[in-house]
Amino acid sequence: MEYAELKVREAVLALLGVFEFKGGRAWKPYDFEVMDAVHAQGLISDPHRREESVLLSDEGLAKAKTLAASSSEGDRIRKSSSD
């Protein structure tokens, strides 16, 4: 099955934004070809480094949060305080 590469990159970036910690760190369990493409855009640090996580750039973190919010319209990604 083929996927639209831009949509896959945006989905991965959105997931990195949803699960980021420590001011922009995110685990890197995603396909390295996709991660390389996101890195080439300057949105994350080099995914091939020894660290188990990548660091989202300021631009990458902002875009990730925007993509996560827009892709979850009508769906809740984060639990509310009452959950």
pLDDT in tens, 8-37: 899 999 999 988 999 899 998 888 899 999
Scanning 1-83, the segments in alpha helix (DSSP H) are: 5-18, 32-40, 58-71
| Stretch 51-75: mean pLDDT | 84
Please tell me the least confidently modeled range out of 13-17, 35-39, 45-49, 66-70. Answer: 66-70
Q: Are the beta carbons of 38 and 14 closer than 8 angstroms? A: no
Top-level CATH class of 5-70?
mainly alpha
